[in-house]
Amino acid sequence: MLGPIPYDHNQYEETMRDLRGLKEFVDHLDDMGELQRITVPVDPRFEIPAVLDQIKGPKAPAVLFEKVKGHAIPVVGNLLGTERRMALALGVEEGDVITHLQGKLDKKITPFLITEENERVAFSLSDENAIQEILPILTHYARDSGPYITSAVTSAKYPDSDVVGRGLHRIEIRGNTTAGISLVNPPLSNIYDYHKQAGTRMEVAIAVGVDPAILLGTVLKAPKGVDKFANVGGLMGGAVATVRAKTVDIEIPAFAEIVLEGYIDPEEGEKGGILGEVSGYYMSFPSPTVHITTISLRRDAVYHGLLPKGSEVEQILSFVWGLKIIPTMKSEFPSIRDLHFVPDTFGAHLVMSTSGNDRGENRRAVNMALSFSNVKKAVIVDGDVDISNPLEVEWAMATRFQADRDLMVLSDLKGQPIDPSTGPEFISSKIGVDATKPDRGNFDRIRFPDEIENRLTSIIGEFNQGD
């Protein structure tokens, strides 16, 4: 393996946005008019999450809390809460992010090790120098068992190779120097299982406040033996720069704002904390304890507060599920025009539009959509319906759908762990709705003549400007 080399921006291929760090992206959003600064003091316990919960909608800004009670480190939230900022984060034109990235999904660019541009300030933890005293970690909801880091990219090495496994995992602060980590998904769950069987310690490095492209790429799946940062490099067209952690043998994102290093002793067993999840309910999963030995901070660090149930998580889930589902559905069914995940359903409700009129194909498309574990309800409509407008979808169901003919109910399918209504092993019942035009009858939508529509647009535009 090559040793560390100095950081040289010219080693990156040209992208629409430099792949660096969170702080640089926040500055980029500020320049683009996408950032709102809050200068009054706000408490990280409940207050910041409550503010983020109220900031919703397609034009809601990212928010920088400059004064956090009890802390010198500011907090940024709703970072990826709109489609526009998702596009900015991934360096693509605003519009259909999934389409722009489809050709890059199989590309891999190996991360490369550099010498750190700016030395971090490191703190060795002790009972007098506690995690919560250093970091403005948010306590989100009333019944949460404590503060949670929800934007952490955790890294650990596969025991039988030098490949690093990475994932986005919840971190519960349990004590002055201890935290719980929810290891539900691979690859980190597999690495943890190995250490449980071997009875050995598992070293981890937890990066908080990373470039949003790194955060998004880490959520995507990668085969064993592939560093997820290689996926990020492929998506962005430039390698992810890494540095060696200070006390564990793991390579971490070079420009991470905050890094916590430590180890898991699997012989200590597991216990479950409680966190309000994206589903809107409190959930608990048994999780092992991480002993945090060192925290290092970038100069003038910024903390990324990711609200578990908020616009930012919804956008991330739509991105992840969209990359998996949309290309597959469009490839299998060329008549599918577009797909839309209904907001606030954590990817569980899907609406599709079609240019075809084969009701058998429509039914097959709905059944295939329901085969994905996240999709619990799938609706298919004609291309004259705006699938992002829930009122249009409801209108199509009210006028083109008959339950005894067009409703599909499927049982015993794999559901989502975060859906509390599922049964053992997360088995779920699902529904499909064919709300396309029936073969019989007149289903032409009422409309005004084109010349009136054009004139109306001009008049309304002038009226709105007058406001």
- Where are the domains positioned within the chain? 5-306, 333-434
DSSP character at residue 438: P
C-alpha–C-alpha distance, residues 157 and 167, integer Å: 12
Other C-beta atoms lying within 10 Å of the C-beta of residue 94:
13
Interval 208-224: pLDDT, tens = 999 999 999 999 988 88
CA end-to-end span of the chain, whole Å? Answer: 63
Closest CA to 384 of 337, 427, 348: 337
Poorest-confidence range of 17-26, 54-63, 151-160, 354-363?
A: 17-26
Closest CA to 321 of 369, 249, 260: 369
| 466 has a pLDDT exceeding 70 | no
Higher pLDDT, 192 or 94: 192
Which pLDDT band holds residue 442 (cuts at 50, 70, 90)? confident
C-alpha–C-alpha distance, residues 17 and 66, integer Å: 25
From the centroid of its chain, how far is CA 143?
23
Mean pLDDT calculated for residue range 334-349: 94
List Cβ neighbours of 459 (8 Å cut-off, separation of 6 or more). Answer: none
According to the model, what pLDDT value does residue 464 have?
A: 56
| 432 has a pLDDT exceeding 50 | yes
Place of tokens 């030395």: 119
Tokens of residue 190, six digits: 């597999």
Poorest-confidence range of 9-13, 41-45, 46-50, 306-310?
A: 9-13
| 364 has a pLDDT exceeding 70 | yes
Closest CA to 209 of 344, 71, 4, 23: 23
According to the model, what pLDDT value does residue 128 have?
A: 66
Answer whether CATH 2.30.110.10 is correct for domain 5-306: yes
Interval 254-277: pLDDT, tens = 999 999 999 999 999 899 899 999
| 4 has a pLDDT exceeding 70 | no
List Cβ neighbours of 334 (8 Å cut-off, separation of 6 or more). Answer: none
| 324 has a pLDDT exceeding 70 | yes
289 neighbors 262 (Cβ within 8 angstroms):
no
C-alpha–C-alpha distance, residues 262 and 174, integer Å: 14
Which pLDDT band holds residue 18 (cuts at 50, 70, 90)? low
Q: Are strands 427-434 and 377-382 parallel, antiparallel or unpaired?
A: parallel
C-alpha–C-alpha distance, residues 12 and 357, integer Å: 47
Which amino acid, one-letter code, is at 241?
Answer: A
C-alpha–C-alpha distance, residues 184 and 272, integer Å: 12
C-alpha–C-alpha distance, residues 134 and 138, integer Å: 12
| 412 has a pLDDT exceeding 90 | yes
Which residue blocks in 102-187 are alpha helix, DSSP H? 131-134
Which pLDDT band holds residue 155 (cuts at 50, 70, 90)? very high
Tokens of residue 165, six digits: 């496994």
> Which architecture, in CATH terms, is 333-434?
3-Layer(aba) Sandwich (3.40)
